[in-house]
């Protein structure tokens, strides 16, 4: 198995989705965290000069979404096996039993964290794009240059941006399988669900009643926390504002 080392600040932010995908995939990884002040010491060792960086058997990968989707594609299909091997075993299984497809009970267990089809992958990407848009606005508040600017940005977040995106996420959930699934894509969890869960964590920490008017998002959050290994990880991870 590859050796994974994730290099990132001691916050969730752009590194947490990678941690969550690795966790759901059941992959052990070294979580190398450091403070913002310590970054200057490690920066020369990163080819891109920025983090997060995922080190895979010594090879560096950068760009947070690209890393998260890479890991999701590696482990997010056919019972957690890499897709080529999983597909081979699936075909062998079908030949031996003279079946054209897996029984429904087994097919339901298949998980593609990036989606099973090209259209599914679009649905994943549109959620990831929306998460990036809202996260960027949240970061602007967090790093505002002064209190007056921060107050103005916070007001706009609460009155405009957050309601708009929560409504958008709710519509995406209702659109998927006509609201019969608690996930954003199909009937199983994807990287989209993990991204929304992490994004909303920061907002819920500031307003515990945030999702009271959004039952579909509440259900999605519960379903995401029921994914493999997630609850144990969430229970032990450090609480961070961002």
Determine what percent of the chain is predicted with pLDDT higher than 70: 85
Q: Residue 96's pLDDT is what?
A: 56
User: How far apart (Å, rounded) are the C-alpha atoms in residues 239 and 242?
Assistant: 9
Mean pLDDT of the chain: 87
Q: Residue 51's pLDDT is what?
A: 98
User: How far apart (Å, rounded) are the C-alpha atoms in residues 65 and 157?
Assistant: 23
Biggest CA–CA distance in the chain, Å, is: 69
Q: Residue 112's pLDDT is what?
A: 72
Q: What is the pLDDT of residues 210-238, one digit of tens each?
A: 999 999 999 999 999 999 899 999 999 98
Other C-beta atoms within 10 Å of 169: how many?
23
Cβ pair 125, 113 in contact under 8 A? no
pTM score > 0.95 for this model?
A: no
User: How far apart (Å, rounded) are the C-alpha atoms in residues 144 and 76?
Assistant: 38
Helix (H), strand (E), coil (C) string for 9-30: ECCCHHHHHHHHHHHHCCCCCE
Cβ pair 103, 95 in contact under 8 A? no
Q: Which two tokens stand for residue 221?
A: 């959050």
Mean pLDDT of 174-189: 91
Q: What is the pLDDT of residues 72-124, one digit of tens each?
A: 999 874 333 333 444 444 445 545 555 444 443 333 333 478 888 899 999 99
How many CA atoms lie within 13 Å of 46's alpha carbon, on the beta-carbon side? 20
Phi then psi dihedrals of residue 39, to 5 deg: -55, -40
What DSSP string describes 108-130? TT---TT-SSHHHHHHHHHHHHH
Determine what percent of the chain is predicted with pLDDT higher than 90: 75
Q: Which two tokens stand for residue 142?
A: 């967090």
């Amino acid at each position: 198995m590859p050796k994974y080392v994730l290099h990132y600040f001691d916050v969730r932010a752009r590194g947490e989705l990678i941690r969550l995908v690795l966790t759901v995939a059941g992959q052990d990884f070294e979580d190398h965290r450091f403070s913002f002040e310590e970054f200057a010491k490690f920066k020369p060792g990163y080819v891109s000069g920025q983090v997060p960086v995922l080190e895979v058997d010594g090879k560096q990968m950068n760009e947070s979404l690209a890393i998260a989707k890479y890991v999701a594609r590696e482990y997010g299909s056919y019972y957690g096996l890499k897709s080529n091997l999983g597909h081979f075993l699936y075909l062998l299984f079908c030949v031996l039993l003279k079946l054209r497809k897996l029984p429904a009970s087994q097919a339901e267990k298949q998980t593609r964290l990036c989606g099973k089809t090209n259209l599914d992958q679009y649905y994943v990407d549109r959620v990831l794009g929306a998460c990036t848009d809202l996260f960027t606005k949240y970061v602007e508040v967090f790093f505002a240059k002064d209190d007056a600017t921060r107050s103005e940005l916070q007001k706009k977040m609460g009155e405009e941006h957050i309601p708009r995106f929560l409504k958008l996420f709710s519509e995406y959930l209702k659109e998927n399988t006509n609201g019969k699934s608690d996930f954003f894509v199909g009937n199983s969890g994807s990287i989209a669900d993990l991204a929304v869960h992490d994004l909303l964590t920061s907002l819920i920490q500031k307003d515990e009643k945030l999702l009271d008017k959004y039952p579909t998002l509440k259900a999605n959050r519960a379903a995401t926390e029921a994914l493999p290994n997630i609850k144990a990880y969430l229970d032990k991870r450090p609480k961070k504002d961002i």
